[in-house]
């Protein structure tokens, strides 16, 4: 596709449930980022992939959060035992190998934990 695609656009889940959020980056982009944005805040870094490997996962808040990118393209962010504090917009971005280019963002997945 032309841009970064994220599905679902909205997800409502009950506290304690497991959720998966999907990101389909721009074709050919090797770098992929997950961010979380709470209301009135800037995007908060979660994890960065270069190809298939997680090059930096220092932003994951705890071990309930995990992300994969098995074939170096689509990525899935997985959240176990969801808590109400996990409610936020989860953003995915991708970038090319040119180290000075910008990141292109998807529309985000709005996660609400009730």
Partner 1 sequence: GDSVTQMEGPVTLSEEAFLTINCTYTATGYPSLFWYVQYPGEGLQLLLKATKADDKGSNKGFEATYRKETTSFHLEKGSVQVSDSAVYFCALSDPVTRNQFYFGTGTSLTVIP
Q: What is d(CA 47, CA 86) in angstroms, rounded to the nearest whole number?
A: 16
Cβ neighbours, 10 Å, residue 42: 7
Per CB under 8 A, which of residues 21..60 are in contact with partner 1? 31, 33, 35, 40-45, 48, 50, 55-56, 58-59
Least Cβ distance, residue 80 to partner 1 (angstroms) = 23
Which C-beta is closer to partner 1: that of 13 or that of 30? 30
The correct pick among 14, 63, 84, 100 for binding partner 1 (CB under 8 A) is 100
Which C-beta is closer to partner 1: that of 10 or that of 80? 10
What string of DSSP letters covers the chain?
Answer: --S-EEE-SEEEE-TT--EEEEEE--TT--EEEEEEE-TTS--EEEEEEETTEEEE-TT--STTEEEE-TTSS-EEEEE-S--GGG-EEEEEEEE-S-TTPPPEE---EEEEE-
Which C-beta is closer to partner 1: that of 80 or that of 97? 97
Per CB under 8 A, which of residues 60..89 are in contact with partner 1? none
Q: Which residues bind partner 1 (CB under 8 A)?
A: 31, 33, 35, 40-45, 48, 50, 55-56, 58-59, 91, 93, 95, 99-100, 102-108
């Amino acid at each position: 596709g032309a841009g970064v695609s994220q599905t679902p656009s909205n997800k409502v889940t009950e506290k304690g449930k497991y959720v998966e959020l999907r990101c389909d980056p721009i074709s050919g982009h090797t770098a992929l980022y997950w961010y979380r944005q709470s209301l009135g805040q800037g995007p908060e870094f979660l994890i960065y992939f270069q190809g298939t490997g997680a090059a930096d996962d220092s932003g994951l808040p705890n071990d309930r959060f995990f992300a994969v990118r098995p074939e170096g393209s689509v990525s899935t962010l997985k959240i176990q035992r969801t808590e109400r504090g996990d409610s936020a917009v989860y953003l995915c971005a991708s970038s090319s190998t040119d180290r000075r280019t910008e990141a292109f963002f998807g529309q985000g997945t709005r996660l609400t934990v009730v």
